[in-house]
Structure 1
Amino acid sequence: MKKLFLLVGLMVCSTVSYASKLNEDISLIEKQTSGRIGVSVWDTQTDKRWDYRGDERFPLMSTFKTLACATMLSDMDSGKLNKNATAKIDERNIVVWSPVMDKLAGQSTRIEHACEAAMLMSDNTAANLVLNEIGGPKAVTQFLRSIGDKATRLDRLEPRLNEAKPGDKRDTTTPNAMVNTLHTLMEDNALSYESRTQLKIWMQDNKVSDSLMRSVLPKGWSIAD
């Protein structure tokens, strides 16, 4: 079965045969939307690659949640963080778009549950809880450096990391860097087998994009975003 690992505009897919047409289509979309699109494709069967603005920086936005949870899983693998670790959800720290944590204000939750909420529902308070437990945004950047990603950086918590001011390198990545990192997390030994499996399940179970990317996938394709 073909597998598609897609993180917003950052893609790893099983074919690059339509590169020329893709260039034209993406350029047209950019003109229509007055936007900038970044794509990176890596056919892992043939090791062929293709990208569009692959080394340009783009805001991470909510895609950082996969990286934060990967960092958490790495900490649990090494014993740095207890697998049953919990944190209290302070009502004062609830931020915008927290559909899961908003209902648990004043209670405690397992950090793994917070990761699940962050990745399945893009819960921002849950993501901040995870970041606080693993050492903050800087810890995510340090983890990424340790697995070979020299471009991606996380600097702030939700919701400030979404400012995305032109030219600001904070909280950004590149399409090529993200594709390489996703491959490292899913296929290499940066995480234990159990942690790789858990991360993939969380990505595949994402509910936010059901009516978007998932609704237009070709038959037989799966997505982990």
Structure 2
Amino acid sequence: MRYPRPRTFFRIFYYSFSTLTRPSRAAQKFTRTTQDLRLKSSMSSIPFIGSLFSHSGNSSANMDTSYPVQKSPDEWRAVLNKEQFRILREKGTEPPGSGKFDKHHPSEGVYTCAGCSAPLYKATHKFKSGCGWPAYFDSIPGAVTRHEDRSFGMARTEITCSNCGGHLGHVFKGEGYATPTDERHCVNSVSLNFSPDDKVVEGKSEGAGDGGSKV
């Protein structure tokens, strides 16, 4: 009787053993699915990473009845496009460097709220910060309201339009910019419109957004 060579024998043994112990395709697919679900769950629990794929959806400040302009979500959707609604009403953020006003530096004019047309910033308030969003060292008096924002596990100061509560961005202080206030109003371009004529904007703002401007 002839026996298989030792090397051949071990190959046969290894193949038989690996075949018996290898998980089935269904089991492998189940394992991968479980791992994917665990990964997604862990990512959503990390504030910063989760924020890269979704917005906070917190519109509590926008529901504040102290704002002159009051609209339901459906009414806002009727006058705002999808991206404006996401940022102004759901506190979203546009990607850095993507906004049309990031590198916009006119010598005069006024930036207004894209939601209600209330004047917010003068062109002379804007400065080059290099942060990727439009930056202003000050606002028109009374045009912007500040709120404490503790989302994403950090303390920040959110800024909203004082007329309609639309989310603008955040304000940061003490960064060392050579500006009169040493503040940086970091604003989403989507939250803004621009008029090169101060007088036209101020004249229209008296009835802006059905509620009038308080500035």
Where on the TM-score scale, by shorter chain, does this alignment land: which range? under 0.3
TM-score (norm 1): 0.25
Q: Which has the higher strand share?
A: 2
Q: Which has the higher helix share?
A: 1
TM-score (norm 2): 0.26
Larger radius of gyration: 2
